């Protein structure tokens, strides 16, 4: 289904009833990375996935982009779907957007799942790397970005044993436009630090991380866990940065255990 938000068309899927659980995908992928979770939570809650602007089947405005803008798109999507409050599940870039959303619309967040992400902003070195990667996407196309990123996104166990997941991840990246990829890299480079939000968070938070995540390692998850009073930390053994794709059974079990006790009207 397509929904018009902030002047662009956002492609989303909305199924089931009960507590709305909205999934926010990683860079540079699309909403299909959540297919296993939608299936795993069927009958438990209402699940919503969507393609962020510039990714998948959503539209793209060729203007500078920001993480706040993507959080505003999410707010617009919720309004269009008649959702006042939702549980947000954000993985990596999806986590940056979830934290930005929480800063700007705290009353719209019922609970948070922060997977394979970090609250801190980029170092200058990481920013410079992103600007170079954005230029590379524009110069060499999405295939070159897939070459660089697949070995970093997936953990060593997956890389050595799951050619199907390597292909699936590659296909998601290659299906995105170089302009969409570049705009999101620049948005992430400019994102603000969200660390100041953590100590005052008074909502249920589940932090998930793959034991083989080299982009946002377990130590990052532990730092957030220490800072957020009401948080739970789940390390998924044998998964890399894309813990939900690499170990869906374990990821879904953690999610179900977190979602089920929450009052759908809360």
Per residue, what are the HEC states of 65-78?
Answer: CCHHHHHHHHHHHH
- Dihedral Cα 250, 83, 25, 225, nearest 10 deg: -60
User: Judged by CB, which is closer to ligand MLT: 46, or 53?
Assistant: 53
Which 3 state secondary structure label does DSSP give 82?
Answer: coil
Residue 100 near ligand MLT by CB under 6 A:
no
Q: Which of 47, 49, 92, 243 binds ligand MLT (CB under 6 A)?
A: 92
Q: Residues 114 to 133: which contact ligand MLT by CB under 6 A?
A: none
User: Judged by CB, which is closer to ligand MLT: 87, or 115?
Assistant: 115
Residue 251 near ligand MLT by CB under 6 A:
no
CB neighbours of residue 70 within 10 Å? 24
Peptide bond connecting 28 to the previous residue in cis, omega within 30 degrees of 0:
yes
- Dihedral Cα 61, 89, 143, 68, nearest 10 deg: 30
Residue 27 near ligand MLT by CB under 6 A:
yes
Please give the C-alpha separations between residue 13 and each of 27, 35, 214, in angstroms, as whole numbers.
19, 10, 30
Residue 169 near ligand MLT by CB under 6 A:
no
Residue 215 near ligand MLT by CB under 6 A:
yes
Distance separating alpha carbons of residues 175 and 88, to the nearest angstrom: 25
Residue 228 near ligand MLT by CB under 6 A:
no
User: Judged by CB, which is closer to ligand MLT: 30, or 92?
Assistant: 92
Minimum Å gap between C-beta 93 and ligand MLT is: 3
User: Judged by CB, which is closer to ligand MLT: 29, or 45?
Assistant: 29
Q: Whose CB is nearest to ligand MLT?
A: 92
User: Judged by CB, which is closer to ligand MLT: 72, or 243?
Assistant: 243
Minimum Å gap between C-beta 156 and ligand MLT is: 17
Minimum Å gap between C-beta 23 and ligand MLT is: 13
Interface characters, 174-203, with ligand MLT (x: CB under 6 A): --------------x---------------
Long-range contacts from 172-175, C-beta under 8 angstroms, 24+ separation: 172/28, 172/29, 172/30, 172/32, 172/33, 173/28, 173/29, 173/142, 173/145, 173/146, 173/149, 174/142, 174/143, 174/146, 175/30, 175/56, 175/142
User: Judged by CB, which is closer to ligand MLT: 37, or 45?
Assistant: 37
Q: Which of 3, 10, 19, 26 binds ligand MLT (CB under 6 A)?
A: 26
How open is the CA angle 259-261-265, to the nearest 5 degrees? 85
* Residues within the interface to ligand MLT (CB under 6 A): 26-27, 92-93, 188, 215, 241
């Amino acid at each position: 289904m397509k929904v018009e938000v902030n002047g662009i068309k956002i492609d989303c899927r909305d199924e089931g009833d009960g507590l709305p659980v909205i999934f926010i995908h990683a860079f540079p992928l699309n909403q299909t990375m959540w297919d296993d979770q939608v299936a795993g939570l069927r009958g438990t809650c209402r699940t919503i996935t969507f393609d962020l602007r510039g990714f998948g089947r959503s539209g793209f405005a060729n203007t500078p982009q920001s993480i706040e803008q993507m959080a505003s798109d999410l707010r617009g999507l919720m309004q269009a779907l008649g959702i006042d409050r939702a549980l947000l599940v954000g993985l990596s870039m999806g986590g940056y957007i979830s934290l930005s959303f929480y800063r700007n619309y705290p009353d719209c967040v019922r609970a948070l799942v922060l997977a394979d992400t970090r609250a801190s902003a980029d170092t200058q070195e990481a920013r410079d790397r992103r600007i170079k990667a954005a230029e590379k996407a524009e110069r060499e196309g999405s295939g070159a970005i897939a070459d660089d990123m697949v070995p970093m996104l997936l953990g060593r166990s997956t890389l050595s044993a799951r050619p199907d997941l390597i292909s699936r991840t590659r296909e998601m990246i290659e299906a995105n436009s170089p302009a969409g990829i570049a705009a999101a890299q620049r948005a992430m480079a400019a994102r603000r630090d969200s660390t100041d939000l953590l100590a005052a968070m008074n909502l249920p938070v589940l932090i998930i991380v793959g034991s083989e995540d080299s982009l946002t390692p377990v130590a990052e998850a532990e730092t957030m866990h220490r800072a957020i009073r009401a948080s739970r930390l789940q390390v998924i053994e044998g998964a890399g940065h894309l813990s939900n794709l690499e170990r869906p059974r374990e990821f879904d079990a953690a999610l179900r255990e977190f979602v089920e006790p929450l009052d759908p009207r809360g």
